């Protein structure tokens, strides 16, 4: 699963929205104030981090992607800190100044890693004349050619009061728009590509959603009403639900092992989603990565980012889920990314109805030939045509899930034909592998692979193991 990481450096993302500074005062507390029943905190450390839309841009940059930020700040020390921190992280900033208003700042006082109080310094940016909205739209349009994806990070502070104009400009330029929404009136987001509300935000618009069926029904209607291509609903400890038009919903379980702080988790989700889409991946793969990233970031204190190394580690450790089970189009996108990184693609196929040690040894040997191992699996109907009426013993979903759990297997994909020749012709692996006593020229996909410069390899048959023999032995048992 390590090769599921997108080629993030090729991605350019424009982030527009409410920029703020997150400030943290840390110190011990050992007594209650004599002036009021509150703890006394002796401040020992003052820490600042970019927040809001700035944190989204920071998350994009942490992935290695190009991040450009468009926001509004005051003419004060907080704005200077923001510029310094963002420049150090490699974020290109276009920050307009508000007339006489402070940079939005959230000050949190913490002791023993527990937040005691939060103090907000802000004024609404939605008021007429606070900043030059025409200049903001112009700067937005100027930045569009350098980005593959646009993210609108709305915290309800007023920067995105004209969100509809920004969406129209981006779509005219052919750029998909991701929106992290705020409030209960989402009509201004109409025409965006994807929205990423949390469950509470969704319920504020569509009403209570007691279960997944309600999320799918109500969220689907909202998606269609707003003209979106997808709706990604984050559901805290219950994971995420991706609602795509004319496709089955994808429900992803939460990946967090320990939760220390959910601050900024939504920023990480939309940043990873946007960067993965900008790198050429589809909604399902991007959502899976965003889900993994959310599980990582809530294990950190305060607003935080996720690196490709952390994502890679999470994918390795999370190999017990079905993230390696792919549709054909998603597989092709991942293969293109892996090939772009110079990795060798190995592919094999079979029914794998009753997985045994012979299969495991064969797949391990195949994986050692390259960097990525793809296993194409016959669907249930094709197994019945090739085997007998009593087969398969295990349905396709179970067979694929078991294969995806093997360390040697990176991606598993189904096919419906009697042979995977058509699928192999799309993937065009560097190495096509089969086990047994086949002649390479007789293996389905030989012509397509060799014509593309690849090789067909026949591995030694693992003698003493076969599904048919195991079944016969089981039937003889008293």
Q: Catalytic site residue 267?
A: yes
Catalytic hit among 18, 22, 261, 267: 267
**What are phi and psi for residue 389, nearest 5 degrees?**
-65, -25
Structural tokens at position 471: 């079944």
> Cα(first)–Cα(last) distance of the chain, in Å?
42
Torsion angle defined by CA atoms of residues 441, 446, 447 and 448, in that order, rounded to the nearest 10 degrees: 180
Determine contact, residues 432/348, Cβ cutoff 8 Å: yes
Give pairs for 170-175: CB < 8 Å, separation 24+.
170/140, 170/144, 173/141, 173/144, 173/145, 175/14, 175/144, 175/147, 175/148, 175/149, 175/150
Q: Which residues of the chain have pLDDT under 70?
A: 1-4, 256-264, 300-303, 313, 316-323, 341, 389, 461-478
State the pLDDT at residue 478. 56
Three-class SS string for the chain? CHHHCCCHHHCEEEEEECEEEEEEEECCEEEECCCCCCEEECCCEEEEEEEEHHHHHHHHHHCCCEEEEEEEECCCHHHHHHHHHHHHCCCEEEEEECCCCCCCEEEEEEECCEEEEEEEECCCCCCCCCCCHHHHHHHHHHHHHHCCEEEEECCCCCCCCCHHHHHHHHHHCCCCEEEECCCCCCHHHCCCCEECCEHHHHHHHHCCCCCHHHHHHHHHHHHHHHCCCEEEEECHHHCEEEEECCCCCEEECCCCCCCCCCCCHHHHHHHHHHHHHHCCCCHHHHHHHHHHHHHHHCCCCCCCCCCHHHHHHHHHHCCCCCCCECCHHHHHHHHHHHHHCCCCEEEEEECCCCCCHHHHHHHHHHHCCCCEEEEEEECHHHHHHHCCCCCCCCCHHHHHHHHHCCCCCCEEEEECCCCCHHHHHHHCCCEEEEECCCCHHHCCCHHHHHHCCCEEEEECCCCCCCHHHHHHHHHHCC
Per-residue pLDDT tens over the stretch 429-477: 999 999 877 889 999 999 999 999 999 999 876 555 555 555 555 555 6
Domains observed in the chain: 2-321 (3.40.1190.20), 329-476 (3.40.50.620)
**pLDDT of 423:** 96
Cα–Cα distance, 285 to 297 (Å, whole number): 19
The answer to whether the pTM exceeds 0.75 is no
Report the pLDDT value the prediction gives residue 462, as an integer from 0 to 100.
59
Residue 442 burial class via C-beta count within 10 angstroms: exposed 0-12, middle 13-18, buried 19 and up: exposed
Supply the pLDDT for residue 69.
Answer: 98
Cβ 348 vs Cβ 433: under 8 Å: yes
> Residues with Cβ < 8 Å from 242, sequence gap 6 or more?
230, 231, 232, 233, 249, 250, 251, 252, 283, 284, 287
Q: If we measure between CA atoms, which residue out of 105, 111, 17 comes closest to residue 56?
A: 17
User: What is the pLDDT, as a whole number, of residue 179?
Assistant: 98
CA distance 87 to 75: 17
Angle at 328 between CA 324 and CA 334, to 5 degrees: 60
């Amino acid at each position: 699963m390590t090769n599921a990481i997108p080629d993030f450096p090729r991605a350019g993302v424009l982030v527009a929205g409410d920029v703020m500074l997150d400030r943290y005062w840390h110190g011990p507390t050992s007594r209650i104030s004599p002036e009021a029943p509150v703890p006394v905190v002796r401040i020992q450390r003052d820490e600042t981090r970019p927040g809001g839309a700035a944190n989204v841009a920071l998350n994009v940059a942490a992935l290695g992607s190009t991040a450009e930020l468009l926001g509004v700040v005051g003419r004060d020390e907080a704005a200077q800190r923001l510029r310094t921190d963002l420049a150090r992280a490699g974020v290109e900033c276009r920050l307009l100044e508000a007339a006489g208003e402070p940079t939005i700042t959230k000050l949190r006082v913490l002791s023993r890693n527990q937040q005691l109080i939060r103090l907000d310094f802000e004024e609404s940016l939605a008021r007429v004349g606070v900043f030059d909205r025409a200049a903001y739209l112009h700067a937005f349009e100027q930045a569009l050619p350098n980005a593959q994806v646009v993210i609108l990070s709305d915290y309800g502070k007023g920067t995105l009061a004209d969100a509809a104009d920004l969406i129209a400009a981006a779509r005219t330029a052919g750029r998909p728009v991701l929106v992290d929404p705020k409030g209960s009136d989402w009509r201004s987001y109409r025409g965006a590509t994807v929205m990423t509300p949390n469950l509470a935000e969704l319920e504020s618009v569509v009403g209570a959603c007691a279960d997944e069926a309600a999320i799918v029904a109500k969220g689907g209607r909202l998606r269609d009403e707003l003209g979106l291509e997808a709706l990604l609903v984050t559901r805290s400890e219950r994971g995420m639900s991706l609602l795509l038009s004319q496709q089955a919903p994808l429900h992803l379980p939460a990946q967090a092992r320990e939760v220390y702080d959910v601050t900024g988790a939504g920023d990480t989700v939309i940043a990873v989603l946007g960067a993965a889409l900008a790198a050429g991946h589809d909604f399902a793969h991007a959502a899976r990565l965003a889900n993994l990233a959310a599980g990582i970031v809530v294990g950190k204190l305060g607003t935080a980012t996720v690196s490709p190394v952390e994502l890679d580690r999470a994918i390795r450790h999370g190999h017990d889920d079905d993230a390696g089970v792919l549709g054909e189009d998603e597989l092709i996108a991942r293969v293109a990314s892996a090939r772009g990184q110079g990795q060798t693609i190995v592919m094999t196929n079979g029914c794998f109805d009753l997985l045994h040690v012979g299969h495991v040894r064969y797949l391990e040997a195949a994986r050692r030939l390259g960097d990525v191992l793809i296993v194409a699996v016959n669907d249930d109907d094709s197994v019945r045509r090739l085997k007998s009426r009593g087969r398969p013993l295990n349905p396709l979903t179970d067979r694929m899930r078991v294969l995806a759990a093997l360390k040697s297997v990176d991606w598993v994909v189904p096919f419906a034909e009697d042979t995977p020749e058509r699928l192999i012709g799309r993937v065009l692996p560097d190495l096509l592998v089969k086990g047994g006593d086949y002649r390479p020229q007789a293996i389905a996909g030989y012509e397509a692979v060799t014509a593309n410069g690849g090789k067909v390899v026949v591995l030694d048959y693992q003698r003493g193991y076969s599904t048919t023999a195991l079944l016969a032995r089981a039937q003889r048992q008293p």
